[in-house]
Amino acid sequence: MIKKIGVLTSGGDAPGMNAAVRSVVRSCVYNNIEIVGILFGYQGLIDNKIKPMDARSVNNIINKGGTILKTARCEEFRSENGRKKAYNNIMEHKIDALVVVGGDGTFTGAMIFQKEFSLPIIGIPGTIDNDIYGTQYTIGYDTALNTVINAIDKIRDTAISHNRLFFVEVMGRDAGHIALNAGIGAGAEEILVPEANMGLKRLLDSLKRSEKSGKSSSIVVVAEGDKTGKNVFEIASYIEKNMPEYEVRVSVMGHMQRGGSPSCFDRVLASRMGVYAVEKLLSGESNSMIGIINNEMTLCPLEKAIKGKSEINKNLIRVSDILSI
């Protein structure tokens, strides 16, 4: 029987992680379950950085970016010895189950740990990349999209003023979700994603067509995992060489995409997932990730969430092509 649950955030931070922590903590209190927060993810489990929490511990955090529990990537947890240390601390604190918030690296650690020690674990997907199989949306993705769109809107102002061509690189690792959706939302002329390798020649032809049709400035959104060139600077250099009439600039969004106050969508999503995670642990579920499919909470085995591939909406590529004339 579960009497005490531990919650941690791990891997890259994402807006809405605090809302998820708040939801897990308050759901435990509601169900008369003790709750502890584990600082710095799996590293905190190894270093015994574990603190009791209650409903008041999570006051005024739903609107905050980042994570009050901190996060870290932990090499030591990859070793059997590291995981044994973590388990000993779990036993010392009499923790019966874990809720882990993070991405596929977090879930890989959770799955191995669960197999070794049979500790009930439920995962909540928190990553701006939206690249986790088994859920349509991850916590932080919607906020990151809005951050990118706001930045591109500002870049467009200066691009128009100077007749410039801007290449804007966005995050997303090997997935093009952020680039594709933010690109359409911000009215980009071209969008380069890893899932549809456009090639430099085709990109050049497309930009020349745009110029002939009367466009004096352009925005090209590039996913960081795109394979069109070695990197966004190489792509920009190629276009500049072949279209000297354009002033070409590169803007790399970087870590600003991971910060900021979470959107309403991410706050609600995180709140729903936190409640569902605690309820599923209490009903005997384990080794699974909470997802959202067609606006319903779902469970996906951790192994599937890790090994499955998140697909971009191919129809959006067609929409982008039509709207970029």
Residue with token string 């309820």: 279
At 166, the amino acid letter reads F
Order the strands of the 296-301 sheet from edge to edge: 50-53, 34-38, 4-9, 97-102, 121-125, 288-293, 296-301
**Hey, what are 27's tokens?**
């759901």
- CA distance linking residue 157 with residue 161, whole number of Å: 6
C-alpha to C-alpha distances, 142 to 6, 10, 121, nearest whole angstrom: 27, 19, 26
Selected catalytic residue, list 129, 131, 142, 266: 129
- Does residue 6 sit in helix, strand or coil? strand
Q: Identify the three-state secondary structure at position 47.
A: coil
- Of 3, 77, 69, 20, the closest CA to residue 47 belongs to 77
CB 253 within 8 A of CB 169: yes
Residue 129 falls in the annotated catalytic set? yes
Query: 118 — phi, psi (to 5°)?
Result: 55, 35
CA distance 302 to 288: 5
Tokens describing residue 281: 């642990």
Please give the DSSP secondary-structure letter assigned to residue 186.
T
CA–CA gap between residue 59 and residue 78 (Å, rounded): 34
- The 8-class DSSP code of residue 194 comes to T
- Residues forming the active site: 129
